[in-house]
Structure 1
Amino acid sequence: MKTHFSLNALFLTSVLAVFTFACGEPAPTENIVEVASGNENVSTLVEALGAAELASALEGEGPFTVFAPTNAAFEALPEDVLEALLKPENKDALTAILRYHVAASKLTATEIKEALSMATEGYTVETLNGAALIATLEGDAVKLADVQGNTANVTGADLMASNGVIHTIDAVLLPGGVNPAALLGPADIVGVAMDNEQFATLVAAVKAAGLVETLQGEGPFTVFAPVDDAFAALPEGTVESLLEAENKDQLSGILTYHVVADKVDAATLTNAIQNAEEGTYTITTVNGAELTASIQDGKVVLTDAQGNTATVIATDVNASNGIIHAIDAVVMP
């Protein structure tokens, strides 16, 4: 028979534990937030509690058990996720995550292990978030699992406070419905292109030309991005030749002819063409040479310095540092 234990089943044990300090050790006088603030290993958590406006709640009567991710745990989140979580617009997501690390009862390491010794499949920790954590024992170590399948090890136990206890853990746990990476918004120009299978040749060319760092810069940029079929339509051997190291300057010149040092969405470009004399609008590229934009059969068409044309076939692919419009041909300076 499989046995599950809930924190509620340990309530009496927790109440009795209150009297342990009468047997020698003085009761702690600092609350959860004060104890955490005095521990440099969880300073990021303290900052997050402030951003989520949860500090006052954890200064309350309690009791609470806080499974506190260390600074290293927060640093292990995907790049830029922590910075995004601390922004005011993402307060709800941060609050949900932090409340998922708090139980509304005091549970010491000994109590956790005693409960686990009586369970065959761990026990459920009900959190302030409303979602549950599952605690298990691996050897002598307590491990927590969230609803998304992530796990965290308890690395420091029984940091006692006047209104509860803190256990440090080595990972940030996530409740259902929270995807921190989704808070980041779109990637940069290069990242967006890499995620689109239609731009594989373009990405290879950008790398060969040494333009990755440039197009990952602050920008903003508008890139008229030839799809793979556009490169395939060039004379046989052209792409292979351009990708060779000795032709790097030539390749760079071609690619920068597809880039504008500004963010120009489809509506702005269309309006510029319609308001221009003779229905053509001149675009100055990073290359220094110009493209001529016009509207033909309801679509934007680019004409290069050699008279070749490319039709815009997809618009407004947003990136963090600009925008991409896909075109069906490679234009030449």
Structure 2
Amino acid sequence: MPVPPKKFKAAIFAAVAATTGLAAVATAPAIAHKRAAQTQSPDIVQTAVSTGVHTTLVAAVQAAGLVDTLSSPGPLTVFAPTDTAFAKLPDGTVATLVKPENKGTLQGILTYHAVAGNVSSGDLVKLINKHGGEATIKTVAGGTLTARLAGDKIIITDAKGRATAVTQADVQTSNGVIHVTDGVFLPA
């Protein structure tokens, strides 16, 4: 039975705070404030912090030590799972991944959600059409994702064969673009 999103978020914050020594609730706004002072328009991390639906993703990015990477000049394209997407994972998965001893694994999963460059939904559609209905995308982690269309939706399939829909495309940031997804990608 899925954990209600509010309880799930609270559990993630508690796990991150307990395992990393961070007060995750306090650090997300602090990161956003620090970065806002450095740039006029929000970067990928600031944007994720501001959405209200990427709390788990932000906590995972903090636990993985990837805040600076995702705040760098880029450009990067990030497929950003929502809190609801993370809640679909088996019980205990996220809490286990944010433990310090699993930092490398968590980094691998999160960088599997990133692509070098600014890849818009229009770029994805062009690639899909150019390659006969399916396009392979190389991730920062070195793995691949497969993109295809299902009606007017872009569907991304990970190495494990899990199909995930892009629910909101082309969220522009100062250092790239975010495509919101309804699932979490898992590398092979």
TM-score (norm 2): 0.78
Which sections of structure 1, spanning at least 5 residues, go unmatched?
1-77, 82-183
What is the match of residue 92 of structure 2?
Answer: 237
Higher relative contact order (CA 8 A, sep 6+): 2
What is the match of residue 59 of structure 1?
Answer: none
Q: Does 1:329 align with 2:183?
A: yes
Give the superposition deviation at 1:211: 0.4
Letter of the 1:329 partner, please give it: G
What is the match of residue 154 of structure 2?
Answer: 300
Give the superposition deviation at 1:80: 5.1
**For 2:163 and 2:100, how far apart are their aligned partners in 1?**
28
**For 1:234 and 1:327, how far apart are their aligned partners in 2?**
14
Structure with the bigger percentage of helix = 2
What is the match of residue 25 of structure 1?
Answer: none
Q: Does 1:189 align with 2:147?
A: no
Letter of the 1:263 partner, please give it: N
Give the superposition deviation at 1:79: 2.9
Q: Is the partner of 1:195 in helix, strand or coil?
A: helix
What is the match of residue 216 of structure 1?
Answer: 71
Q: Does 1:247 align with 2:140?
A: no
Q: Is the partner of 1:312 in helix, strand or coil?
A: strand
Q: Quick check: which has more Rg, 1 or 2? A: 1
**For 2:182 and 2:85, how far apart are their aligned partners in 1?**
5
Q: Is the partner of 1:270 in helix, strand or coil?
A: helix
Q: Is the partner of 2:37 in helix, strand or coil?
A: coil
Runs of 4 or more, structure 1, over 4 Å off, are none
Letter of the 1:305 partner, please give it: A
**For 1:192 and 1:223, how far apart are their aligned partners in 2?**
11
Output one character per residue of 1:64-104: Cα deviation in whole Å (capped at 9) or x when no partner.
Answer: xxxxxxxxxxxxxx8358xxxxxxxxxxxxxxxxxxxxxxx
What is the match of residue 315 of structure 1?
Answer: 169
Which sections of structure 2, spanning at least 5 residues, go unmatched?
1-35
**For 1:291 and 1:221, how far apart are their aligned partners in 2?**
15
Output one character per residue of 1:261-307: Cα deviation in whole Å (capped at 9) or x when no partner.
Answer: 11011111111111213x10010000000000000122100111111
Q: Does 1:201 align with 2:56?
A: yes
Please show how residues 1-333 of structure 1 align to structure 2 within 5 Å.
Answer: 79=37, 184=40, 186-277=41-132, 279-333=133-187
Letter of the 1:79 partner, please give it: A
TM-score (norm 1): 0.45
Distance change (3 Å), C-alpha of 1:244 and 1:80:
closer
Output one character per residue of 1:105-153: Cα deviation in whole Å (capped at 9) or x when no partner.
Answer: xxxxxxxxxxxxxxxxxxxxxxxxxxxxxxxxxxxxxxxxxxxxxxxxx
**For 1:285 and 1:201, how far apart are their aligned partners in 2?**
21
* Identity over aligned pairs, percent: 49
**For 1:80 and 1:215, how far apart are their aligned partners in 2?**
14
